[in-house]
A and B are shown apart, each in its own frame.
Chain A
Amino acid sequence: MSAEIIASIADVLTDNIPLTPISQGAEAVVFTSPVHPYLPKNRTDGDDKLYILKYRPEKKYRHPVIDKTLTKHRTLGESRLLAKLRLIDGLNVPKLIGCDPYHGCIWLEFLGEDLPNGHGFSNLKNFLWMNASDPYSDLVRDTMINVGKQIGLMHWNDYCHGDLTTSNIVLVRAGEDWQPYLIDFGLGSISTLVEDKGVDLYVLERAIISTHSSFANRYNLWVLEGFKSVFESHGKAGLGKYKDLIRRFEEVRLRGRKRSMIG
């Protein structure tokens, strides 16, 4: 991770907000911090609570005007999307804490925990690895169905994730079960298009196949089961929409997502 990038945001946030980098994508760098960006300290929030900072650093290759505008636009866009998603009953997304579009910063609640026996962070990818020895247990089945339900709820409300991989689904403990949360809506959008929803499903299917190929078939069936149940609960209209969606999903699968183009 570039020291320059860390230095640039640390400069803005000052020493009062210590940052620990945890991942870096093409567009943004993710940090954790034990310090809340604005809540008065004399509150009983728990001393070991962490917060997530998603930071879009400046890109030197592009013109400064383009860079500033794009960063602001994307930061605001993602924040607004998260705020809207949060209002959907039953949909699990991280809580938005703060937004600084002038520096490309989004503050979010920290979700998930470390899985036992060194299996890493509690995202769906690691969870499936952890359960590889008993892949078809009730726990795994229920979790995959719940994942499907979350995606169904999101699509039913006409939102798309844009990058639905198993690393972008975080599992949060809820008693004996795990509740799936969808994270990282950097490529997310409001969309009524079956194409976009089909692509979401396809990307997740591919992600599950590529990392857990032996059990992928069952896993993907369970996801679709949960997904379908959301649409079914809205009667005939819901089922109709579901059928259209699945049809497009199958088309996307055949094409491999890419549209045909003239040379």
Chain B
Amino acid sequence: MAGIVLKYKIPQFQEYTIHVQKYNNVTNSSELRSKLAELPFAYIDSKTVISVEQLSSAIYKAILETEYNRMRTRTIHSECILSLSPSSNIGDALNRFGIKEGTTDIIVIKIIEDSNEEPYDGNASVDGDLVPVSDDEFSTSADKEIIKTVCIPCDKL
């Protein structure tokens, strides 16, 4: 496993192994953006995530919907990005929480279904500095103003 990866399982969904990585000073954002459809990862703009709890609650919701209801997007990874959003508009969610032109700090989610897939080798196709995942790290790169705009329903602002 290359570098420091947060790896865990959700207690009631032992079939999935979840990996979270953070990259700072990313240089190939545009390349990643153009290949989003083929790359089996969730690439998230760090400015929109303030804590591990926020991220893991979205991952929980994504798996819950997949297992107990139905996926609203095409992959479990895009489902994670949708689950970060308070609205169910997929386009909005991907635009707001996904990586943009010039995003330098990225959070990567990789979910492996243990019975079907090979273990994750840690290569997320990102050119950047891999840093340890923690609340401190997330809150440092988070942008509170952006989070207020995208996370809290408009009528509450």
Contact = CB atoms under 8 A, between A and B. Distances in A.
Nearest to A102: B68
The interface size bin for chain B is: 20 to 34
Residue from B56, B61, B69 whose CB has the most chain A CB atoms within 10 Å = B56
B60 interface: yes
Interface residues of A, number: 20
B52 A43 contact: yes
B10 A38 contact: yes
Contacts of A66: none
A40 B11 contact: no
Contacts of A50: none
Contacts of A102: 64, 68-69
Interface in B66-95: 68-69
Contact of B60 (A12, A16, A98): A98
Given A87-B156, A98-B60, A40 B6 contact: yes
Interface in B2-59: 6, 8, 10-12, 14, 18, 20, 52-53, 56-57, 59
A37 B53 CA distance: 11
A222 B9 CA distance: 49
A2 interface: no
B11 A16 contact: yes
Contacts of A43: 52
Nearest to A33: B11
A14 B14 CA distance: 9
A42 B10 contact: no
B59 to A, nearest CB: 7
Interface in A217-257: none
15 contacts: A13-B12, A17-B11, A17-B12, A37-B60, A38-B11, A39-B52, A40-B6, A40-B18, A42-B6, A42-B8, A43-B52, A84-B156, A98-B61, A100-B64, A102-B64
